[in-house]
Amino acid sequence: MHRIVYLERESIIADVRRPDFPHHWVEHAQTLQVQVAQRLAGATIAIVNKLTLGGELIAALPALQMVAVAATGTNNVDLEACRARRIVVSNIRGYAEHTVPEHVFALLLALSRNVLAYRQAVAAGKWQASEQFCFFDFPIRDLHGATLALVGSGSLGRGVARLAEAFGMRVLRCERKGASAVRAGYTPFAEALRVADAISLHCPLNAETTHLIGEPELRAMKRSALLINSARGGLVDETALARALQEGWIAGAGFDVLSVEPPGAGNVLLAPDLLALPNFLLTPHVAWASRPAMQSLADQLTANLEAFARGEPQNRVA
Over pLDDT 70: what percentage of the chain? Answer: 100
Contact 200, 221 (CB under 8 A): no
Nearest C-alpha neighbor of 279 from the set 144, 164, 138: 138
Catalytic position from the list 98, 103, 176, 285: 285
Confidence band (pLDDT; 50, 70, 90) for 21? Answer: very high
Q: How far is CA 103 from CA 98, 160, 168, 288, in A?
A: 9, 10, 18, 8
* Average pLDDT score, the chain: 96
pTM exceeds cut of 0.85? yes
**Cα distance between residue 212 and residue 241, in whole Å:** 12
The predicted structure's pLDDT at residue 121: 96
Catalytic position from the list 261, 291, 310, 316: 261
Tell me the average pLDDT across 25-52: 97
Catalytic position from the list 2, 98, 202, 232: 232
Which burial class, exposed, middle or buried, applies to 174 when counting CB atoms under 10 A from its CB (0-12, 13-18, 19+)? buried
The predicted structure's pLDDT at residue 253: 98
Residue 265 has pLDDT above 90, yes or no: no
Tell me the average pLDDT across 290-297: 97
Active site residue 232: yes
Backbone angles phi, psi at 179, to 5 degrees: -65, 140
Q: Can you list the pairs that 241-245 forms with residues at least 24 positions away whose Cβ atoms lie under 8 Å?
A: 241/213, 241/269, 242/268, 242/269, 242/271, 242/274, 243/215, 244/215, 244/218, 244/219, 245/274, 245/277, 245/279, 245/280
Rg of the chain's alpha carbons, rounded to an integer?
22
Active site residue 285: yes
The predicted structure's pLDDT at residue 132: 94
Please count the residues of the chain.
318
Tell me the average pLDDT across 173-198: 96
pLDDT digits (tens, 9 = 90+) for 86-133: 999 999 999 999 999 999 999 999 999 999 999 999 999 999 999 999
The predicted structure's pLDDT at residue 106: 98
Bridge partners of residue 45, in order along the sequence: 4, 66
Active site residue 223: no
The predicted structure's pLDDT at residue 155: 92
Tell me the average pLDDT across 229-256: 98
Confidence band (pLDDT; 50, 70, 90) for 264? Answer: confident
The predicted structure's pLDDT at residue 305: 98
